[in-house]
Structure 1
Amino acid sequence: MHDPLSPTTRLPIDSDADLSRVRQRVRQAAADLGFRLVPQTKLVTAASELARNTLVHGGGGHMEMTLLGDGARRGLRLSFVDTGPGIPDVERAMTDGYSTGGGLGLGLGGARRLVREFALDTRPGRGTTVTITDWATGLPSPRTGAS
């Protein structure tokens, strides 16, 4: 069970300016939780892709960000929620390189590879929710013995 460390923060995704705010808030939260630079960058990249999908394909919506604790581990759960048309062919949408936007975005498959946990809930005509979770790994243990 992943226990929330704080209440969930909800951020709107209704404009390009909102996309920037989502990226900034995710980066700051990940840094505050102790994510190293590379995992932090992967999480922000996945969040950016999913926020853009929420805006472009879902017609806007919101992101819910929850800080998590699991023993000594700290993590972030991000849910991207829209009430748009949904995804009619999930298997195709998850295929690497697939894009309906004509852009060079990572797509859902790319976002999935960047995080440890990925869940997709979509129904045609009822919208889409994509939830990702990742964990700060912390610093490696110091070496013991001869150097």
Structure 2
Amino acid sequence: MLGQEVKCLEELLNVVEQEKKVLIEGNHEGLIPLSERKADLSQRLADAQKKRLGLQKKLSSSPESPIGLADLEKHLEKPYHSAFRSTIRSMRTMAGRLKDLNEANGRFVQDALQTVEHLLGIITGAGETQGYGPRPGGPRKAHLPPRLVAKEV
């Protein structure tokens, strides 16, 4: 059962790393299939986790509070304990890496959107008032410089 989760995590890591490359290269057309793949894998991972949680509830003495993932080891035969612990460590490592990469990609996209918004404001003059006379809101605030979007993610 954990094998399905591990496989989904590995595939998700691969997709998020591809997403990072696409963002850096600026090949935005490549984001659509990657986003669809990421959504599909996320759903498969959620389904696998739901099945595992169902098993954990069955093995628990109290269905309201299922046993933890590490507690499943007690229900395995001794020869499988080491492999089980290794799998759990691997899953935690992959989940942490996946979270970090996904957040970095999200920050990259947000920075790019802020840069575009800033440039559009400069081009259209949005938010600017006349250059003379009193201003109802006080003195004009200086524009913030655009963020660098070509930075390493």
TM-score bracket, shorter-length normalisation: under 0.3
TM-score normalised by length of structure 1: 0.26
Greater CA radius of gyration, 1 or 2?
2
